[in-house]
Structure 1
Amino acid sequence: MTRVHDMGGRFGDGPVHPEPDDAPVFAEDWHGRALAVTLAAGSLGQWNIDISRHARERLSPKDYTRFSYYEKWISALTDLLVESGVLTEEDLRGEADKEEHPLASRKMKAEAVAGVLASGGPADRPSNVPAEYAIGQEVVTTRPTANRLVDGGHTRLPHYAAGAKGRILMVHGTHVLPDSSAHRLGDAPEPLYGVVFPASELWTNPEHPNDEVVLDLWQSYLGPV
């Protein structure tokens, strides 16, 4: 059973309307602040990108469907701060003592922001897991699209690609497995592939049957045809 966030390719949600080129970066001032506090909190080193993605996925379906993009971010961040012991609910209400926080020395200073964003967070890792597939080889994705390590856990294989046949387009090397990393079970790096799928393999009546979709998928998501 998929979570409410797994909406890719779902029928009935209407077209995607790209914003015009001259649109502001942030539609509202608080959007920029939500991004900033999320990045600043992430720099404390108490979670990784996979844990933060899973926190957004774990929002209640009612909240997820009614929240805007940055409301999802700030709500998930609130959960992470409390779950990780960085803040308490009293802290969030402004009721706690005003003592210096134990993680204060890790705060991201303004002059470091540009460098941190430019360097990103590389997820490639060395691994003893050999690549089982080569460029041009046909593969099929697992069905159902579920985390095989944690029941109901995080995975990067979208529901619309379950059981689909594709072809290896690129081998990216070995990278952190989100299904493990999102649950603090370790990096568990394994081969990551760019897999190309015909639109007709993913949807019954694609508007453009000759289109292709490329997904980056981990080896454990794939099997031979």
Structure 2
Amino acid sequence: MDSIADMGGTRGWGPAPAPVPEEPPFAEPWEGRAFALTVLTMGRISGRNLDAFRYALSRLHPVDYLVDGYYGRWRSAAELMLTDSRILAPGAVDARARRLRGEDVVEPDAPDPARPDYRPSAPGSLREVDHGPAFAVGDPVRTRDLHPRGPTKLPGYLGRRPGKVMAVRPPHVLPDTHAVFEGENPQHVYTVAFDSTTLWGPDAEPFTLHADLFESYLETRP
């Protein structure tokens, strides 16, 4: 799906802020709590995985995604995962916050939990497949023009762009299906080189961009 989280390579956002020297891990105490809450929510509470967390981030409202900041997005994604697994009813967090502010609000009843019935087939994300890679180092390839309704890890700015395979990586769980519990579907991964001017036009700063892409994102280029 196309989402606000796919901001990489897009224009109009202005220059990136300069890094802060000796920046602490968390600027405010609540950020550390949001981090811990999300990590606990991902596995032990909601039964969701890392790819499901990233998919939750991509489904946040664009305004909230931009306004809430980094750990604000984590907090909202944790709430969405809890709602997906029916640990929380939709609107329960907002209702509780309003009640704590003194408003006369009825909190929705907690639903019956529906955690995903999923166990990984092996630790981590690397897997084995029973076939060799479809592409080799040096092969000219082109990315597919994918706009699925669900998650994808193909950046929008790379759609239908020509490139060249620079390396073949080990097979990896496919996030597109893993995020929605439709199977691990491991695939070979390739490091593909793209010329900056083919991505952003002749006026772009000249450089080579490398992206690690799943096999199903690529097709042979004549």
- Aligned residue in 1 for 2:182: 185
Letter in 2 for 1:141: T
Residues of 1 paired with 2:159 and 2:205: CA distance? 20
Q: 2:83–2:90: 8 Å Cα contact kept in structure 1?
A: yes
Q: What TM-score do you get using the length of structure 2 for normalisation?
A: 0.80
Aligned partners of 1:8 and 1:158 also within 8 Å = yes
- The answer to whether the Cα contact below 8 Å between 1:160 and 1:202 also exists between their aligned partners in 2 is yes
| C-alpha distance in structure 1 between counterparts of 2:3 and 2:131, whole Å | 29
| Superposition TM-score, scaled by structure 1 size | 0.79
Of stretches 76-85 and 215-224 in structure 1, the one that deviates more from structure 2 is: 76-85
Contact preservation (8 Å) 2:152, 2:175 = yes
1:21 to partner: Cα distance: 2.9
Alignment match, 1:169: 166
Taking the aligned partners of 2:23 and 2:187, their CA distance within structure 1 comes to 40
How far 1:65 moved relative to its partner? 2.8
Find the partner of 2:194 among 186, 190, 197. Answer: 197
Contact between 2:42 and 2:78, CA under 8 Å: does it hold in 1? no
Q: Hey, what does 1:15 align to over in structure 2? A: 15
Report the CA distance between 1:57 and its aligned residue.
Answer: 0.7
**2:40 alignment partner AA:** A
Aligned 1:137-156 pairs, distance under 5 A? 137-143=139-145, 145-147=146-148, 152-156=149-153
Task: Please give the alpha-carbon distance, in whole angstroms, between the structure 2 residues aligned to 1:91 and 1:53.
Answer: 22
- Equivalenced residues, count: 198
Which structure 1 segments of 5+ residues have no match? 104-120
* C-alpha distance 224-123 of structure 1, shift in aligned 2 (>3 A): same
Q: RMSD of the alignment, in Å?
A: 2.5
Q: Tell me the residue number matched to 2:209.
A: 213
The 3-state SS of whatever aligns with 1:34 is helix
Q: Which residue of 1 aligns with 2:134?
A: 132
The answer to whether the Cα contact below 8 Å between 1:193 and 1:218 also exists between their aligned partners in 2 is yes
Q: CA deviation at 1:197?
A: 1.0
* Residues 1:80 and 2:77 aligned together: no
What 5-or-longer segments of structure 2 have no aligned partner? 98-106, 116-122
Shift in alpha-carbon separation, 1:2–1:88, aligned structure 2, 3 A = closer
